[in-house]
Amino acid sequence: MSLALSPIVAGTWRMAGWGWSPQERLRWIEGCLDLGITSFDHADIYGGYTVETLFGEALALAPALRRRMQIVSKCGIRLPSPARLGNVIKHYDTSAAHVHASVDHSLRALRTDHLDLLLIHRPDALMDADELAATFDTLRAAGKVLNFGVSNFSCSQLALLHRRCPLVTNQIELSPLHLDALHDGTLDQCQDLGLRPMVWSPLVGGRIFTSEDAAAQRVREALQTLEKELGVGWVTLLMAWVMRHPSRPHPVMGTHRLDMAREAMAATQLRLDAQQWTQLWRAGAGRDVP
């Protein structure tokens, strides 16, 4: 089944820290939808296993909004938590039993009957690819999950699973301060297979604006130059930098501020040329291209 995510995806991982009422969370959801941000990125572990419930409480106030959005969630990380007393240490689990249980919990928490996309959150050294592919088939047949992907997988890890069950994305880290995916084959593989990647932390959790390390300072200087040249703000420039890659990434932006979300969406109208894009690459890398 094909999946169409919005150009920018709303990340929810900080929602538990916003201190909002269900009505305030609903207004944020509606504000995102009005901007054209229709995809919402979750994980079972976000907020100490609370964020999906917080989102579901808000969505229950206007359940018709579910038809206007795509809900993404992730599973496979097990954290010690009062909400999961059986988790003694942090570990990964892609067993059929855990994935089925995680999906069922997410559906209850989010107040929905299906996920548009389920991602395996981290590579699991004990992943049985045949078992996991069969689990995906069962979830799809039951109508609980429509599409599947992975997050933070290497090329070989993705290929192992993709050969057994077609995947639609790999959610990876990418920014001018984190360039690995551009050069380790990750984005080459996405382009080759026609998988549009999702990109987490395109703004480096805000560190790109505040950090005093040398690379962040160089990136800010490059952003200042491009801001004067193009007349757009830093959020727009950074999103446009990510989206310029031919694999056509979907940046995931974890902000509660709708003004920043609006700036992010402005990147859909901006295409950096190769020299402008390379200015930010060079600033992050601290050197010229080879």
Spatial contact of 52 and 44, defined as CB atoms under 8 Å apart:
yes
What's residue 75's pLDDT? 98
The DSSP code sequence of 178-242 is B-HHHHSSHHHHHHHHT---EEE-TTGGGHHHH--SHHHHHHHHHHHHHHHHH---HHHHHHHHH
Which residues are paired to 173 by β-bridges? 200
Rg (CA), the chain: 19
- Report yes or no on 93 lying in a domain: yes
With a CB cutoff of 8 Å and minimum separation 6, the contacts of 181 are 172, 173, 174, 187, 197
What's residue 225's pLDDT? 98
For the four alpha carbons of 147, 145, 13 and 55, in that order, the dihedral sign comes to: positive
- What is the pLDDT confidence band of residue 126, given thresholds at 50, 70 and 90? very high
Q: Which of 267, 198, 242 is nearest to 41 (CA)?
A: 198
Query: Tokens 């997050």 appear where?
Result: 151
pLDDT in tens, 61-92: 999 999 999 999 999 999 999 999 999 999 99
Over the chain, what is the mean pLDDT?
A: 97
- Report yes or no on 203 lying in a domain: no
Stated pTM of the model: 0.97
pLDDT in tens, 241-287: 999 999 999 999 999 999 999 999 999 999 999 999 999 999 999 99
- Report yes or no on 18 lying in a domain: yes
- Report yes or no on 214 lying in a domain: no
pLDDT in tens, 213-245: 999 999 999 999 999 999 999 999 999 999 999
CA 265 to chain centre: 15
- What is the pLDDT confidence band of residue 44, given thresholds at 50, 70 and 90? very high
Spatial contact of 6 and 249, defined as CB atoms under 8 Å apart:
no
- Report yes or no on 250 lying in a domain: no
Instruction: Write the burial class of residue 213 (CB in 10 Å: 0-12 exposed, 13-18 middle, 19+ buried).
Output: exposed
CATH of the domain at 23: 3.20.20.100
- Report yes or no on 126 lying in a domain: yes
pLDDT above 60 (res 129): yes
What's residue 116's pLDDT? 98
Give the DSSP letter of residue 275: H
Q: What domain count does the chain have?
A: 1
CA distance 22 to 24: 5
CA distance 280 to 237: 9
Provide the domain limits for residue 152: 9-168
Q: Is 46 a catalytic residue?
A: yes
With a CB cutoff of 8 Å and minimum separation 6, the contacts of 16 are 46, 47, 48, 50, 51, 54
- Report yes or no on 245 lying in a domain: no
Q: Residues 46, 55, 200, 241: which is the catalytic one? A: 46
CA distance 34 to 75: 29
- Report yes or no on 98 lying in a domain: yes
